[in-house]
Structure 1
Amino acid sequence: IFPSGGPVMELVEDCGGTSALAVHVEVLVKPRSKTDVRMHVVAFLDHHRVITGNHRWTEFDEQFLRQNVDSVAIADPERGTIDLKGCNLTVHIFTLNNDGLSTLNLEEDEELSAANHWLLPAAEFQGIWESLVFEDGVKTQLLDYVSTTIFFSDKNVNSNLITWNRVVLLHGPPGNGKTSLCKALAQKLSIRLSDRYTYSQFVEINSHSLFSKWFSESGKLVTKMFQKIQQLIDDEDALVFVLVDEVESLTAARNASHAGTEPSDAIRVVNSVLTQLDQIKRHPNVVILTTSNLTEKIDLAFLDRADIKQKIGPPSTEGIFNIYMSCLGELMKCQIISPRQQLLTLHELETISFMESNVSQMSLSLRRIAEKSKGLSGRSLRRLPFLAHALFVKVVVLEPLSNNLPPAFVEKMKNFMLVRSACYNQLVLPIFKHYVAFRLWKYVVIE
């Protein structure tokens, strides 16, 4: 069903003939866990009913689950509150691969790696999906896109009549999670499709290594790189994700070369990339993920091949609030903020009509800070709590010692720190004051 103006909603027919919402349950099991985990997880979920769509259990009463399961997660954060009794549960059981990063070289004697390689689901990618906050529907649409490519392939849809190229382009200003989203999407799909594919692989091409110091060799290196990828794709039991970060470096607009502002070798590189993409799209078990900060520099022929061109811009106020919530949660978990304080989600604040009370005061303060933070990238937002601690805590540490220090020295240090933090005052200081409002750090903020 394709509702107007929204992502594809996943509905299935239950035994009574009515439509039921399909909910994905992701179960991270411990190494060498027993085979009947699914049955115990289903029984565990049967004791729960109304939950939020982004709920995770890590502690269990049942001994079997404690011994075999690390976590059980309801992985549908964009669906809000869910009644599990009226849903069709799809349970995905997986373990994390701890082999880490390996490299792919085009020649055995080469020291410079042409690509980084991971087996999925990878331990170092775990949790990225949940940490990324975008406008409603972005992550769901990307999941639906890959699911549709596989569905059309299974149905043997004639690709000459209905075309898809298995290419996704994420574009927008730097620092908003494009590369992280590609890694998280691959991780998520490796879990969701684990019943179909024995394992998944993630290849991150090092674009700069494909430009040879020898004239006219770059196009050949691109071909060699995709031949390596082709070897991975030939295993039909593997789902392969290929990431080309800053894709404009491999697909620079060829009209610039004709104008003489780019070397002719760049034309060969673009031609080689386009040729390889046209060959790869015939295989059902590959997805090409690309990112760019400079879409105006990309060749039009490549842009035309991208099935989805999704802009990833700075987070909305809601996204900023959720980012700050996750940051505070992490600081509380690490006991940098102590004691642990309760924060209300935006949904919970809406249910009380944003009325201020002793319970909601802190969350409402965080919401006001989020509104002041509009326009910052996700990377900058996640850096602010660190800067608040690094810049302002060090200032106030001088306060208890000020009686034992020459007044001129104390004043000089204060001025130094204020100048150093001037560019952050508008945002970092309010956040730090918010911490103080929590009564988490008992310091005097220097005005």
Structure 2
Amino acid sequence: MQPAKANGSDSKYKWSIHVEVRLQPRATARFETIRNRVDLWLKSFDRINLFSTLSGWEDVPELASSVEKIATSESPCQMQSLPLDEMILHIHIYQPSDGDAYEEFSNNSGGREDGDDTMAASVTELPNRNWEGLWDSLIYESDVKTKLLDYIHATLVLSDAGVDFNLVSWNRVVLLHGPPGTGKTSLCRALAQKLSIRLSERYSHGRLLEINSHSLFSKWFSESGKLVQRLFTNITELADEEEAFLVVLIDEVESLTAARAGAMAGTEPSDGLRVVNALLTQLDKLKHRKNVLIMSTSNLVKAIDGAFVDRADIVQYIDLPPREAVYEILRSCLVEMASKGILIGVAVPPLQKALMYERTAPTGQRTVGIMTTSDPHERSKLVGLRLLGLATQCRVQEMSGRALRRLPVLALARYIGIGKIPDSSEGKHTANADAWFDGMENIVQQQAQQRDKLMN
């Protein structure tokens, strides 16, 4: 979001900064009371750090008794902190649910006793504690996350202004496509979680409804189109609750929207044609609901019917992570293990510092033997250089984000091993940086060899 011009005679531009305040599970304080108290506390500072967890609120009794965490969200501003007078603060109070997803909407029409009662969708109440941190864990080369948030904001502005749909049209449909394992489904879930927080003043809660596409195809001829209609009738009933923001996720959308050209040519069953037509009709009805967002994902975008693609306001390609994103993903893994006492004796530098080390490092500098130096700064430098080298290897092998986050687990299981690393005095298994990097580099090489065998 671009900086907004301040009101009045002040010509300064101010940055919109979002502050998310998570309440304790049993907190009973009114949201507005907490919001006012947080606003008062923040205004006692001259500067506020961006994209960080804030501290000090624990000394305020009204906050300490109800609040669990206060954090500033990511911002397009490149500064690490900003003076208070250059900010427009947006404070969002939320209390996440502990509940798991529950299944709803059977595809059985109710008149047949054939055991065909697969659940057509699952519902998750939002915000949900199980998805805390998911948004921050997703790292992409482009500003795709900000792009999606700004899109939702734009649709709400247009809806609130009562813009004529016949003149300016939008469908509230987003399509994410790209290789498997790039985090498309996770991004949809994270966006639903983020929106339930950002829109907490407008909607009391949110829901994510994930459609099981395969369950909407019946073995009974002509029944599949009716199943789609029945499911979207239930979705419409959920959307009637104007106090809730509803995100509908159609994962692997090509299963529902296989190109109608195949049916017309006789290579696909005509029942598939009815499914596509029913889905498109229902999407056209839902676009007028400003509390509904349709998210969809696909690994095979060319198989999707052109009419569905045309209805998507945003068609976003989610690529494999570039080297810099690979570094950040692996860094977050190592930082987590260090915080839990599994990886010891090392600090993993942020990306920009690692890139600076790379630019100034002597040609041919060895990065092995990290633990042989007693200088913490030199040790951190070697960690950054070696992690950059590992990130390069992973990018060459075109590893997905899903595969990258498995590396530490596979390294521990195969090349470090519980029996090969010592127990600490606290009874925890620990390993140093050299062992972890050796293990992860071996795993990357091994997976490259296995992939070559698979392709040949």
Structure 1 unmatched ranges of 5 or more: 1-7, 400-420, 430-447
Quote the residue 2:374 is aligned against: none
CA distance in 2, matches of 1:379, 1:334: 21
TM norm structure 2: 0.82
User: For residues 244 and 58 of structure 1, do their structure 2 counterparts lie closer, same or farther at Cα, with a shift above 3 Å needed?
Assistant: farther
CA distance in 1, matches of 2:188, 2:97: 18
User: For residues 427 and 161 of structure 1, do their structure 2 counterparts lie closer, same or farther at Cα, with a shift above 3 Å needed?
Assistant: same
Quote the residue 1:229 is aligned against: 235
1:61 offset after TM fit, Å? 4.2
8 A Cα contact 2:203 2:243, kept in partner: yes
Deviations 1:321-361 (A, max 9, x none): 1101110111112221124x322212334567744561422
How many residues of Structure 1 are paired with residues of Structure 2 in the alignment? Answer: 401
CA distance in 2, matches of 1:148, 1:181: 19
8 A Cα contact 1:116 1:205, kept in partner: yes
Deviations 1:279-333 (A, max 9, x none): 1111111100000000110111111111100000101111111101110111112
User: For residues 319 and 59 of structure 1, do their structure 2 counterparts lie closer, same or farther at Cα, with a shift above 3 Å needed?
Assistant: farther
Quote the residue 2:283 is aligned against: 277
Quote the residue 1:346 is aligned against: 351
User: For residues 154 and 13 of structure 1, do their structure 2 counterparts lie closer, same or farther at Cα, with a shift above 3 Å needed?
Assistant: same
8 A Cα contact 1:10 1:21, kept in partner: yes
Question: How do 1:373-384 and structure 2 match up within 5 A?
Answer: 373-374=394-395, 375-384=398-407
Question: How do 1:21-60 and structure 2 match up within 5 A?
Answer: 21-30=15-24, 31-35=26-30, 36-46=33-43, 48=45, 53-57=50-54, 60=57
1:179 offset after TM fit, Å? 0.3
Counterpart residue identity of residue 397, structure 1: K
CA distance in 1, matches of 2:188, 2:281: 23
Q: Find the partner of 1:372 among 393, 396, 400.
A: 393
User: For residues 423 and 336 of structure 1, do their structure 2 counterparts lie closer, same or farther at Cα, with a shift above 3 Å needed?
Assistant: closer
Tell me the SS of whatever aligns to 2:52. strand
1:361 lines up with 2:370 in the alignment? no
CA distance in 2, matches of 1:88, 1:75: 13
CA distance in 1, matches of 2:421, 2:355: 41
1:127 offset after TM fit, Å? 1.0
Tell me the SS of whatever aligns to 2:406. helix
User: For residues 259 and 58 of structure 1, do their structure 2 counterparts lie closer, same or farther at Cα, with a shift above 3 Å needed?
Assistant: farther
Quote the residue 2:143 is aligned against: 137
8 A Cα contact 1:387 1:428, kept in partner: no
8 A Cα contact 1:372 1:427, kept in partner: no
Tell me the SS of whatever aligns to 2:344. coil
Quote the residue 1:11 is aligned against: 4
CA distance in 1, matches of 2:403, 2:307: 34
Tell me the SS of whatever aligns to 1:194. coil
Tell me the SS of whatever aligns to 1:71. strand
CA distance in 1, matches of 2:250, 2:216: 12
8 A Cα contact 1:385 1:428, kept in partner: no
User: For residues 52 and 315 of structure 1, do their structure 2 counterparts lie closer, same or farther at Cα, with a shift above 3 Å needed?
Assistant: farther
CA distance in 2, matches of 1:198, 1:396: 51
Tell me the SS of whatever aligns to 2:327. helix
8 A Cα contact 1:14 1:88, kept in partner: no
User: For residues 157 and 39 of structure 1, do their structure 2 counterparts lie closer, same or farther at Cα, with a shift above 3 Å needed?
Assistant: closer
1:385 lines up with 2:394 in the alignment? no
Quote the residue 1:397 is aligned against: 420
Superposition RMSD on alpha carbons, in Å?
2.6
CA distance in 1, matches of 2:170, 2:44: 43
Deviations 1:127-172 (A, max 9, x none): 1100000123110000011111111111111111111111000000
1:423 offset after TM fit, Å? 6.7
Deviations 1:57-111 (A, max 9, x none): 3675405233221111111155342304221111001100112211112459674
Quote the residue 2:332 is aligned against: 326
Counterpart residue identity of residue 100, structure 1: D
1:51 offset after TM fit, Å? 5.5
Question: How do 1:261-340 and structure 2 match up within 5 A?
Answer: 261-339=267-345
CA distance in 2, matches of 1:317, 1:41: 39
Quote the residue 1:3 is aligned against: none
Structure 2 unmatched ranges of 5 or more: 111-115, 362-376, 423-440, 450-456
Tell me the SS of whatever aligns to 1:57. coil
Quote the residue 1:245 is aligned against: 251
CA distance in 2, matches of 1:49, 1:323: 33
1:48 offset after TM fit, Å? 4.7
Quote the residue 1:194 is aligned against: 200
Quote the residue 1:208 is aligned against: 214
Structure 1 range deviating more: 68-77 or 35-44: 35-44
Counterpart residue identity of residue 81, structure 2: I
CA distance in 2, matches of 1:152, 1:287: 15
Q: Find the partner of 2:69 among 58, 68, 71.
A: 71
